[in-house]
Amino acid sequence: MRTAFIDQLIKEATENESIFLLVGDLGYSVVEPFAEKFPDRFLNAGIAEQNMTGVAAGLAMEGYNVFTYSIGNFPTLRCMEQIRYDVCYHNLSVKIVAVGGGYAYGPLGVSHHTTEDIGMLRTIPNLTVCAPGDPVETRMVTSFLCNHSGPGYLRLGKAGEKIIHDGPLQETGNHFPKITEGKETVVLTTGGMLETATAYVRANNLPWGIYSVPFIKPMNEEALLRIGGAYAKVITLEEHQASAGFGSAILEGFNNLVTAGKLTRFPDVKRIAIPDMFVGYAGTQDYIRKQVGLHL
Give residue 26's pLDDT: 84
Which of 223, 139, 234, 137 lies closest to 185, judged by CA?
Answer: 234
Same fold for the domain at 2-156 and the one at 178-292? Answer: yes
User: Averaged over 153-176, what is the pLDDT?
Assistant: 91
Q: What percent of the chain has pLDDT over 70?
A: 100
Q: Per 3-state DSSP, what percentage of the chain is helix, strand, and coil (rounded to 5)? A: 40, 20, 40
In this prediction, residue 160 carries a pLDDT of: 87
pLDDT at 187: 98
What pLDDT is stored for residue 235 in this prediction?
Answer: 98
Q: 82-96, 160-174, 186-200, 250-264 — which is least confidently predicted?
A: 160-174
Cα separation, 82 vs 91, in Å, equals 12
CA distances from 170 to 54, 166, 192 (A): 36, 11, 21
In angstroms, the CA 276 to CA 87 distance is 29
What pLDDT is recorded for position 171? 85
pLDDT (tens digit, 9 = 90+) per residue, 44-102? 999 999 999 999 999 999 999 999 999 999 999 999 999 999 999 999 999 999 999 99
Q: What is the pLDDT of residues 131-144, one digit of tens each?
A: 999 999 999 999 99
Q: Report the C-alpha gap between 271 and 244 in whole angstroms.
A: 12
* Alpha helices for 150-245 (secondary structure H): 194-203, 221-230
DSSP 8-state class, residue 102: B
Burial of 65 (0-12, 13-18, 19+ CB in 10 A): buried
Structure confidence at residue 173 as a pLDDT band (50, 70, 90): confident
Predicted confidence at residue 240, as pLDDT, reads 98
- Which strands, in side-by-side order, build the sheet including 178-180? 178-180, 209-212, 185-189, 233-241, 268-274
Whether residue 105 contacts residue 112, with contact meaning beta carbons closer than 8 Å, is answered with yes
- Report how far apart, in Å, the C-alpha atoms of 204 and of each of 207, 216, 272 are: 9, 28, 18
Residue 173 or 271, more confident: 271
For 252-268, write each residue's pLDDT tens digit: 999 999 999 999 999 99
Q: How far is CA 267 from the centre of its chain?
A: 24
Q: What is the mean pLDDT of the chain?
A: 96
pLDDT-derived band at 27, boundaries 50, 70, 90: confident
Q: Would you state the pLDDT for residue 294? A: 97
Superfamily of domain 2-156: Thiamin diphosphate (ThDP)-binding fold, Pyr/PP domains (3.40.50.970)
Q: Tell me, which fold does domain 178-292 have in CATH?
A: Rossmann fold (3.40.50)
End-to-end CA distance of the chain: 23
CA dihedral 191, 199, 2, 46 (to 10 degrees): 60
Domain edges within the chain: 2-156, 178-292
Tell me, what's the pLDDT at 222?
Answer: 97
